[in-house]
A = this chain, B = another copy of it.
Amino acid sequence: MTLKQIGEFGFIHKISRGCLVRPENVTVAIGDDAAAFSTVPDELTLVTTDLLIEKIHFSRNFTDGLDLGHKSLAVNLSDIAAMGGIPREAFVSIAVPENCELDYLEELYRGIKALAAAHNVNILGGDTTRAPKDLVINICVMGSVAPSDILTRDKAKNGDRIYCSGFLGHSRAGLHLLKNNQYKNNNLFQTLIDAHKRPTPQIGVGRFLAKYPDVKTAIDISDGLGADLSHICKASKLGARLYENSLPISDHLKEFCARFGFDPQEYALKGGEDYVLVFTIAPEKAKSLEDAYCQKFGVTPHLIGEIVATPGIEMTQPDGCTKPIESAGWDHFKVDA
């Protein structure tokens, strides 16, 4: 059996056994956006960690230090947002190859520190070492959330409406532009490129949802809507139906796809790295939520589908027919580079 055969999630399942030797006070172990455990009665500590490897997650060729620092921390803050938490402390480890300039590293830390400061997050430690060839960054973020506020993947109910807090597919489109050198003097696609380079962790949306008593389930879009929604479905032992007409596809993405001959729907379903939040709520509570959300953020969240009893994800087309959606989005071990 190879790693490629069992895939990232098969591997995680395999290694998860025997990890919990002291289960008391652990609310969420391996298998959500962050771990959650308590040291005091009315607060859960949240911990998430992300490992970014050059040539897999980023390229120094088209990512400056400032953006890389921003994104390295943002992906962790997004996990805290998906749990409804407040980020508190960050720990930054880096391994530096000889060909990486001090200036680049200083910019990298400047990017991390700027985003950390914007969210009132301390950088309290880390590790620094050499790397043979590729720059490596690992950031671990701790946060907190009240036990009654926590958002997990396993609380979706049959019939729940599924919402998405922003547009999908932007980051993947931005990456395509960067990889193909289509970014110089191209203001039209700047939104897409920015979505890839400097994602905004939706801490504010996460906190709003955490405090909204009828929302209990959320996830952030890191691997793509199909993959991430399937995590909710599997954890909640249910399925999902998406409305094809309601996928949050922006005019920018449509224009991008038209120009390059791509399918916007494919980008929306499998894009990944958009770091918007997907959450569910009972149908009878959905309208009030939409109103409160709109009052708070000035926009309405995108209603994209509903939770159903049958496992798997399907999509209702405008003609009323449904088609199955591949849940597999990004799998680090299955993908061919």
Which chain A residues have a beta carbon within 8 Å of chain B's beta carbons?
1-4, 6, 8, 11-12, 14-15, 18-23, 26, 29-30, 34-35, 37, 39-40, 43, 45, 47-51, 53-57, 88-89, 91, 93-96, 98, 100-102, 105-106, 109, 113, 116-117, 120-134, 136, 138, 140, 142, 144, 332-333, 335, 337
Min C-beta distance of A330 to chain B, whole Å: 10
**A131 nearest CB across to chain B (Å):** 5
Known: A3-B102, A21-B122; 16 extra A-B contacts, CB below 8 A, are A15-B109, A21-B117, A29-B125, A35-B91, A37-B124, A39-B40, A47-B91, A47-B124, A47-B142, A49-B91, A49-B93, A49-B126, A50-B127, A53-B129, A91-B140, A133-B133
Copies in the assembly, this chain:
2
> Considering residues A6, A15, A132, which has the most beta carbons from chain B within 10 angstroms of its beta carbon?
A15
* 29 A-B residue pairs with CB within 8 Å: A3-B100, A3-B101, A11-B128, A12-B128, A19-B122, A19-B123, A20-B122, A20-B123, A21-B120, A29-B122, A35-B124, A35-B125, A37-B122, A47-B89, A47-B125, A49-B93, A50-B127, A51-B93, A51-B136, A53-B129, A53-B130, A56-B95, A56-B129, A130-B335, A131-B134, A132-B133, A133-B133, A138-B140, A142-B142
